[in-house]
Every structure is written in structure tokens, then in C-alpha cells.
Amino acid sequence: MKRTALIIVTVVTISIIWSCTSKQEKMENRLKAFISAFEARSIPLYRENALASWNANISGTNEDFAKSEKASFEYARIFTDSIAFAELKEIKESQSVQDPLLLRQLELLYNAYLGGQVDPGLIAEQIRMETEISKKYANFRVDLNGKQISDNEVEGILKNSTSSAELQKAWEGSKMIGPVVAADVITLVKHRNKIAQKTGFSNYHEMSLKLSGQDPAEVTQIFDELDNLTRDNFRQLKGEIDSYFANRYKIAVSDMRPWHYQNRYFQEAPEIYSVDFDKYYEKQDPVKLASAYYNGIGLNVDAILAKSDLYEKPGKNQHAFSTDIDRSGDVRTLDNIRPDSYWMNTILHELGHGVYSYYNDMTLPFSLRDAAHAFTTEAIANMFGRFATNPKWMTDMNIIAKEESEKISDVSRKALRLQMLVFSRWAQVMYRFEKSMYENPDQNLNQLWWDMVEKYQMLARPQERDMPDWATKIHIALYPCYYHNYLLGELLASQISSYITTNVSKSESFVGEKAVGDYLREKIFMPGARYKWNDMIEKATGEKLTAKYYAKQFVQ
């Protein structure tokens, strides 16, 4: 090649590289400017929203709910900005952003804004409807023989009573929230679908999953696999449950109905094995235990507990949750703790969410200081929650003696296996019901619900019952298209715990193992949302999300 030609080629090459670099630089600078403006506006509103919601859940007053509604609207309104979305769209479509952190923020921001590209009036209406419904759930108390009782009391009756009539009454009483909210929920579902369709999705379920980085077909495939993996074992266990309770209630197996399973939804394992975990916690303080445990693995939770609201109060939300107020260290949990195994599990669970948030990497940009996905934080929460009924953990925490632990170890393993199978079948109902409901909200939902319950939970529906029992489950109304994440969380909990016991911790309970805290902080909490969830899982455990550890642990 002649010298002049070489020079020309070189000049052309340099100018192509230069123009690419400059386009990359230009787009990355535009994105950086976008992010600065976004953070300046959203960080204070994010915090106000989280605080207002926290306050409303504690007081239950109309005034606080009104404030929460307003704050939620102000925060959601950020993402309805169509000029901002156009800017993001142009940056995204240029495909010029290369920096991995910027690219990941672009992806998350783009999805968040895409979800908000609807008439702000429609969003405001959605939030208004959700707030109204939320008030109805918060203020509902079951009426039993003219006396108002709490959800905790209903669960107590379902667990302890041996009278079929009383069980039925308590169960039916708890379902009376259904007709109070059902019509509102259907209106809300249609409203959500309208929003999804205006954004280019076929329904709200599809939109929710896709915008959170999940492919509905992939999730359904995992649920199908699990259905196949669990069906036979569950049927066999369900047979054991039925004979156990038919005997206890002195009825025929064919007369077993949904109120006979010790839970309003049959979402938790009934106590068919003779181990009563509650008795071990009667004289314990679940908060102290959880605090000592987390401290022992190097994840101190004092700052979280100091800001939390832990016990029952009138008007207060009766459930439990954890919230990250500012992604800068203000992390709290709301609970209604009693000294029993349920609340031991719950406080371990909520603090699992808590440490995931609290130990984030403060050097990451605000948008990435979050879990890789909602279900990855559920996985951590579940992994810790399970310890509440793990004899090894209970021994290592000095809750029970070694001899007692050995005595109950086999039956505890069976109980946990039952718990996982029961929960996995219930999660099937929730996932498939919601999917179908959003695909067609005009179908007979009362019937759809019981069809799903019969197919997956194998319960016999009460004769001629035509009630909106699906609407009694608060998640369907207020935490839509999310429930499947609890099951994905269980799969991942098994995967991570198997990785830790093989590679990190000498002990199955992790008690006192600071290496576990180090591992979790470094591999899971600090990466935050910087990687897509499956990439994070692969980096942390060497494999993408798989059902095999869950199956190994609970099905076989």
C-alpha cells in the first residue's frame, strides 16, 4: 500500500473512531445531565412518599392516608413527564451509551418512565382508588357473634378450635371483606389495564412483569416446572393432612372444607406433625433474638430497629413490611409482634429485607441503590425467616437444648417441607388467578378463584359458594402482580443458602458466622441493582436462577 493511501485510511479511521467517541460522549453526557436533574427532583419526593406511607400505616387515620395519597401521587408524577421520556427514548435508541453503570440506569429509568407515560389524571385516579380500598382493608375487623376480632384472633381460632361450626364461622367472617371491596377491585383492575393498554401492553399483568425486567412466558414456564415437580408429592401430603384433620374434627374426609386447614387461605402448612414451635417462643423475645442473630453474622440491625414500629396498636396495619425511607440508611420495619414462631419468622424475614437495604453501596447512584429485583430481596428475607423453625438454629441461639433439637429434627424437616409444598401450591393459585384476571376481568372471577384453588391446592370448594373470596386477599388489590415473586424468592433462597453452606459458612444456621454477612454484603447487597437480577445471581452463586436447589431441599 502506498504511503498516501495509508495516510488517508488512517485519517478516515481516526475520524470514524472520533465521531463514535464523540457521539458516545455526547449521549453519555446527556444521560448524566438527565440523571442529575432526575435525582434532584426525585430523591426528596421518594423520601416524603415513603414517610407518608409509613405514617398512614401506623395511625390508620384518614388524615394520614390523605397525606400518603398526595405524596404517592407527587412521586408517581415524576415518571409521567413526556418530555423527559422523549429524551430517555432518544438516548436509548441511539445505542451510544456504553458505560455499564449509565447503561443500567438508563434501562431502569426508561422502564420507570415508560410505565408513567399515561395521562396523569389516570394515575391520580388509580392512586385514589387504591387508597380508598386500602382504608377498607385497614379498618375491617371480623365480626364473630357480634364481637369485633383482629386477624390475629381469627388465625388463632382457625388454628386451635376443634369445632367445625366455629371454624366455619370464623373463616366465613374473615371472608366478609370480600363483598366490601370486590366491585372496587374489579374497577381498579380495569383501570390498570387501561393504563397498560395506553402504554402498548396487552394488559397490566404483562406490563408489570416486563417493566420489572421479567418475561411473563419465562415466569409461567418456571411455574409449570414447579407445578410438575410438586404435584404428586403435594397430593400425597394433602391426603395425610386430610386424614389427620378429619380425625381431629371427627368428620369424614369428604367433608373437609377450606376452614379446616388452620389458615384463611391454606397458604401455610397446617400443624399435622406433633411439633409446636410456638411453645418454644412463648417466653422469648423475637426482637432480641433476631437482633442478636443478625449482629452475630456481622449485619447489625440496631439502627433499623430503632426506627421501627414493632407491636400491635389500634388502627395500625396488621401485616408486616420493611421500607427503605431514603436509600441512605433510614430503613424501618412495621410488625405486630407476639412471642410465637410466626412472628419470629416474620421479624427475621423483615430484617432480611432491612439489611439488604441498609447495607447497600452508598457510592452507587440513587437508582441503583436498590435490590436487583423485588424477588431477590424476598429471597434473603425468606432464607432468614425459615430459621424460626429450624432446630439447628434454635439450638445455636439457645432457644432449645440439644436433646430437644435432636428429638424434633426429623419432624421439623417434614414440617418445613410441608410448608414449602403448601406455599408453592398456593402461589400457583395467586399467579395464575392474577394473570387470568387481568387477561379478562369480566369473566366469573368467583368461579375462576375456586377452580384454581381446587386444581392447585386440591381443596374442596364450599357447596354453592358464590362469593368474591379472591378479593379477601389484600395482595390482589394492593400489591398486584407481585405474588409470584415470593415463590421465585423461595427458589433463590434455597439456591443462596445451598451456596453459603457449601462455600461460606461452617454452620447450617450461620450463627456467629461473620463470613456470611461479608458474603451477603459483598455479593448481593452492595451490587444493588447494578446488574440484571439473573446476572447478579450468577455472579453470587455461579449459576443463573434454578429450581433445582429448592427441589433438592423440599420435594425429594
What is each CA distance from 48 to 72, 154, 367, in whole angstroms?
8, 35, 16
Q: Which among 21-29, 375-383, 393-401, 517-525 is the span making contact with Zn ion, rule CB under 5 A?
A: 375-383
Q: Which among 66-74, 109-117, 380-388, 505-513 is the span making contact with Zn ion, rule CB under 5 A?
A: 380-388
- Under the binding rule (CB under 5 A), the answer on residue 427 touching Zn ion is no
What is the total residue count of the chain?
A: 556
Contact 417, 425 (CB under 8 A): no
When the beta carbons of 154 and 381 are compared against Zn ion, the nearer one is 381
DSSP string, 376-407: HHHHHHHHHHGGGG-HHHHHHTTSS-HHHHHH
Largest CA distance in the chain: 101
Q: Which among 111-119, 162-170, 227-235, 374-382 is the span making contact with Zn ion, rule CB under 5 A?
A: 374-382
Which residues contact residue 146 at a Cβ distance below 8 angstroms, ignoring those fewer than 6 apart?
none
When the beta carbons of 109 and 536 are compared against Zn ion, the nearer one is 536
- Under the binding rule (CB under 5 A), the answer on residue 399 touching Zn ion is no
When the beta carbons of 72 and 485 are compared against Zn ion, the nearer one is 485
Distance separating alpha carbons of residues 483 and 474, to the nearest angstrom: 11
Distance separating alpha carbons of residues 318 and 360, to the nearest angstrom: 28
3-state helix, strand, coil in the chain (%, to 5): 70, 5, 25
CB of 517 to Zn ion, least distance (A): 19
- Is beta strand 147-149 parallel, antiparallel or unpaired with respect to 321-324? unpaired
When the beta carbons of 237 and 381 are compared against Zn ion, the nearer one is 381
CB of 406 to Zn ion, least distance (A): 31
C-alpha cell of residue 308: 421501627
When the beta carbons of 375 and 554 are compared against Zn ion, the nearer one is 375
Nearest alpha carbon to residue 321 among 171, 106, 478, 168: 478
When the beta carbons of 381 and 415 are compared against Zn ion, the nearer one is 381
- CA-based end-to-end distance of the chain: 70
- Under the binding rule (CB under 5 A), the answer on residue 320 touching Zn ion is no
CB of 375 to Zn ion, least distance (A): 10
Q: Which among 162-170, 379-387, 393-401, 459-467 is the span making contact with Zn ion, rule CB under 5 A?
A: 379-387
Considering only residues 219 through 258, tell me which ones interact with Zn ion, judged by CB under 5 A. Answer: none
When the beta carbons of 85 and 358 are compared against Zn ion, the nearer one is 358
* Kind plus residue range of the DSSP H or E element containing 7: helix 3-59
CB of 349 to Zn ion, least distance (A): 6
When the beta carbons of 381 and 420 are compared against Zn ion, the nearer one is 381
DSSP string, 228-290: HHHHHHHHHHHHHHHHHHHHHHT--GGG--GGGSSSSSS-S----SS--HHHHHTT--HHHHH
Contact 218, 533 (CB under 8 A): no
Q: Is 478 left (phi over 0), alpha (psi -120 to 50) or beta?
A: alpha
When the beta carbons of 115 and 354 are compared against Zn ion, the nearer one is 354
CB of 346 to Zn ion, least distance (A): 9
Q: Which among 24-32, 245-253, 381-389, 424-432 is the span making contact with Zn ion, rule CB under 5 A?
A: 381-389
46 three-state secondary structure: helix
With contacts defined by CB under 5 A, how many residues of the chain interact with Zn ion?
1
CB of 324 to Zn ion, least distance (A): 13
When the beta carbons of 196 and 487 are compared against Zn ion, the nearer one is 487
Considering only residues 339 through 358, tell me which ones interact with Zn ion, judged by CB under 5 A. Answer: none
- Under the binding rule (CB under 5 A), the answer on residue 154 touching Zn ion is no
CB of 471 to Zn ion, least distance (A): 22
Distance separating alpha carbons of residues 117 and 92, to the nearest angstrom: 16
- CB atoms inside a 10 Å sphere around CB 77: 16
Distance separating alpha carbons of residues 294 and 323, to the nearest angstrom: 18
- Under the binding rule (CB under 5 A), the answer on residue 381 touching Zn ion is yes
Which residue minimizes CB distance to Zn ion? 381
Q: Which class for 340: exposed (0-12), middle (13-18), buried (19 or more C-beta within 10 A)?
A: buried
Q: Which among 90-98, 126-134, 291-299, 373-381 is the span making contact with Zn ion, rule CB under 5 A?
A: 373-381
When the beta carbons of 47 and 353 are compared against Zn ion, the nearer one is 353
Residue recorded with cell 366455629: 166
When the beta carbons of 489 and 517 are compared against Zn ion, the nearer one is 489
- List residues near Zn ion by CB under 5 A: 381
